[in-house]
Structure 1
Amino acid sequence: MGLLDGFIGNVSEVEVEAVVKELEMIVTENEQVEKAYKLVRDLLVFTNLRMILIDKQGMTGKKVEYHSIPYKSITHFSCETAGTFDLDAELKIWISGWEEPILKQFKKDKSIFDVQKALATYVAK
């Protein structure tokens, strides 16, 4: 159900090998992609050095914006689960020097906890 999950807003873990090829122009020589999650067309990638948020834009998705966030720049993050009437769960990530957090919305499922656990693992290093 991974492909369908992406279309309806659920996050699905992506095979690292597929992401490595897509990011070969972005990652450094001593950097390794360790985990990746897909949300519709966007990707949240965790390397041994940083988090990369990949925002595919436009109808074709050929225009891509890469946000590179060193783990030491993440000041804190929050995970808000979906409720009875509010069907979306939210992950907010605050970056030092930014006033507003980065916000990623998830549909009502448990995948937000997988992403939160990965984020906690890398930020706590």
Structure 2
Amino acid sequence: MGFFDSMMGNAGNMDPQDVVNKLAEDRVLIDGERVVKAFNLFRDFVVFTDWRIISVDVQGLTGKKKSYETLPYSSISRFSVETAGTMDMDSEIDIYVSSATTPTVALEIRDNEALKEIQNLLATALRKS
């Protein structure tokens, strides 16, 4: 599917200041960029800043190797949300860019509050762009 598929299976909230500290080592954030929300899944995490989504894929035994992927909100054309049901406990957010027919980003989320927060973050970001 593409860009950080199914990244957030059992996502947990992360402290934004901890995220800033982690990203500072590799100078991922630019001057003035603000971390709005972040979620982790084991060692990997997804960061929502005031202008983009950053996926961090921590690799290897030591975790020193990392892969960073960025998706600016301005490139997002639409998103869809599927909430969990009785038998299907996963919710999903699909994010599309330009005229793509398949989602560029597919996030599976089991935390209903995280789903609501991400949906609100995306709607707010798309309203501004």
Under TM normalisation by the shorter chain, which class is it?
A: 0.7 to 0.9
1:30–1:38 CA distance, 2 compared to 1 (3 A): same
The answer as to 2:122 corresponding to 1:115 is no
1:39-76, Cα deviation, whole Å (9 max, x unpaired): 34332212222111222345554432211111110111
Q: Secondary structure at the match of 1:124?
A: helix
1:23-62 alignment runs, 5 A limit: 23-24=23-24, 25-58=27-60, 61-62=63-64
2-structure distance, mates of 1:37, 1:64? 16
Partner of 2:82: 80
TM-score of the two chains, using structure 2 as the length reference = 0.75
1:52–1:98 CA distance, 2 compared to 1 (3 A): farther
TM-score of the two chains, using structure 1 as the length reference = 0.77
1-structure distance, mates of 2:61, 2:100? 29
Q: Where in structure 1 do 4 or more consecutive aligned residues deviate above 6 Å?
A: none
Partner AA of 2:121 in structure 1: A
Partner AA of 1:49 in structure 2: W
Aligned-pair distance for 1:91? 1.0
1:99-122, Cα deviation, whole Å (9 max, x unpaired): 531111112633211121122222
What CA RMSD, in Å, does the superposition of the two structures yield over aligned residues? Answer: 2.4
Percent of residue pairs bearing the same amino acid type: 40
Give 5+ residue unaligned stretches, structure 1: 1-8
1-structure distance, mates of 2:13, 2:73? 20
Give 5+ residue unaligned stretches, structure 2: 1-8
Partner of 2:3: none
1:63-74 alignment runs, 5 A limit: 63-74=65-76
1:108–1:49 CA distance, 2 compared to 1 (3 A): closer
